[in-house]
Structure 1
């Protein structure tokens, strides 16, 4: 079946041409082998119709992956799993802090720093060697919400106030970051580059965005699990367990939830495969 003339509807309501290449790429990113990807592509392609939503295509591909091998489905749902860290931004801050900590940084989350003019609550402070990062995390529960130029403008003013207070001292930060789970507008990126702020989003910088870092480091949020229930995920998030790797190190939380030994084994197997734990 030809797919060139099929239009799909994005979550924003925008109509775009269906891209077989994008679907194939996202399936490969899950770790699925070529045969599995080809089989899923063939099924999804045969079920296409004019005006199908990208959500429906995703749900179908996800179900097929889950039936093939759950670990593929877990990785495939990464983007959705980040949104599931909501509805508040606090678990996202913890998630970014955990990513930095497992990358070798000394991390503090939600610390108050004195600026020259006013106090500032900094979402994440991360220090490694000569890097001293203060990062602001902007979590959005809606996929269509982007970070426009007002966000880095505001954050840069806070960053400069902190620098003014700690200038010429060992406590002075030397990198200001803005991190979001969605995307930055072109103006926001332009301002970030001009002002010296480091911007990190789902797919920016190219090949080093959140999705790339998570895949590369094997630091998946617990919300990617296809075996934990929503209630169990929320319980773990409330205990600041945001990474699968953390759960692997704190198994007693599963006991606290009253999870059976058989199911616990399956969950830990899933976690181990996601984190590449031998």
Structure 2
């Protein structure tokens, strides 16, 4: 096994050689200890086979990590947890709004705005230091989805229509400065190049480098409730229907766990997991 290379199938269908160090790096990002990582890798290595989907490796790693360290398992599953916020994009818009608030912006979600030509529904309107920003959120349930150049082209044209109307209105007390485009997956190179050229701010799972959604969620502990390992998928959806998106929101409104039928014993486990995950 050590001498024979194994080829695996990535989420996007590409074939690549399995690298044990890549698996270890992804586990380290979850803050798992080196001893935990070694045990997980030792468990997974004998199960590898040519053509194995990377998704299957992820599931095995997550399952083992959950046995060793639930907090690390929650962090390890963050990308999947954001995908699980769907099928609508509204919970993702709430997450983006919370992220902007932690950067000092005042935000509103789901705003109808008048453009010079037509009206537009803006996902998030953000204001800071006398400047206003329109933020469009493109949520995908498919991890392979890539936003190509057509998306920022469309978003920028909408922004310009709103900007022309806003900045010519003497009743407005702030300047509409810039448009933002946020996605939970990735942007194509053309999308990034075009956005940089016209001044559209982009944010994705891993863009800008070292300052993408993942890094921001970890930095501010803005973990969605879908990361929790102590709740069932059905319970998570019930809470999302009650507009509880973040684990911190659930901690502050823990009575909702009683309302959806979570026992007192399990409720304590859920709250304990949130405390450890968010350092409360």
Note whether the superposition's TM-score is higher than 0.5: yes
Which stretch shows the higher mean deviation, 90-99 or 211-220? 90-99
Q: Distance in 2 between matches of 1:244 and 1:18?
A: 34
Which of the numbers 185, 189, 203 marks the counterpart of 1:186? 189
Q: Distance in 2 between matches of 1:53 and 1:60?
A: 11
- Preserved CA contact (<8 Å) 2:131 2:175: no
2:117 corresponding residue in structure 1: 117
- Preserved CA contact (<8 Å) 1:94 1:240: no
Q: Distance in 1 between matches of 2:154 and 2:63?
A: 42
- Structure 2 residue 203 is the aligned partner of structure 1 residue 228: no
Unaligned stretches of 5+ residues in structure 2: none
Q: Distance in 1 between matches of 2:209 and 2:70?
A: 28
3-state DSSP of counterpart to 2:11: coil
Which stretch shows the higher mean deviation, 237-246 or 95-104? 95-104
Cα RMSD for the two superposed structures: 1.4
In 2 relative to 1, CA 82–17 (structure 1 residues): closer, same or farther, beyond 3 Å?
A: same
Which stretch shows the higher mean deviation, 266-275 or 149-158? 266-275
1:130 deviates by 3.9
1:66 corresponding residue in structure 2: 66
2:136 corresponding residue in structure 1: 136
Which stretch shows the higher mean deviation, 162-171 or 118-127? 162-171
Q: Distance in 2 between matches of 1:158 and 1:81?
A: 30
2:82 corresponding residue in structure 1: 82
Q: Distance in 1 between matches of 2:42 and 2:124?
A: 44
Q: Distance in 2 between matches of 1:172 and 1:121?
A: 19
- Structure 2 residue 26 is the aligned partner of structure 1 residue 40: no
Q: TM-score with structure 2 length normalisation?
A: 0.95
Q: TM-score with structure 1 length normalisation?
A: 0.95
1:266 corresponding residue in structure 2: 269
Which stretch shows the higher mean deviation, 265-274 or 87-96? 87-96
1:53 deviates by 0.9
1:89 deviates by 1.1
- Structure 2 residue 251 is the aligned partner of structure 1 residue 248: yes
- Preserved CA contact (<8 Å) 1:3 1:45: no
In 2 relative to 1, CA 127–150 (structure 1 residues): closer, same or farther, beyond 3 Å?
A: same
1:257 deviates by 1.2
Q: Distance in 2 between matches of 1:61 and 1:143?
A: 18
Q: Distance in 2 between matches of 1:52 and 1:101?
A: 41
Q: Distance in 2 between matches of 1:4 and 1:207?
A: 34
1:15 deviates by 1.0
1:109 deviates by 0.4
Q: Distance in 2 between matches of 1:214 and 1:20?
A: 26
1:210 corresponding residue in structure 2: 213
Q: Distance in 2 between matches of 1:220 and 1:131?
A: 28
In 2 relative to 1, CA 121–268 (structure 1 residues): closer, same or farther, beyond 3 Å?
A: same
1:23 deviates by 1.1
- Structure 2 residue 98 is the aligned partner of structure 1 residue 98: yes
1:99 deviates by 2.0
1:172 deviates by 3.3
Q: Distance in 1 between matches of 2:30 and 2:131?
A: 32
1:131 deviates by 4.3
- Preserved CA contact (<8 Å) 1:81 1:221: yes
Which stretch shows the higher mean deviation, 193-202 or 33-42? 33-42
Q: Distance in 1 between matches of 2:98 and 2:234?
A: 22
1:111 deviates by 0.4
In 2 relative to 1, CA 244–148 (structure 1 residues): closer, same or farther, beyond 3 Å?
A: same
In 2 relative to 1, CA 59–30 (structure 1 residues): closer, same or farther, beyond 3 Å?
A: same
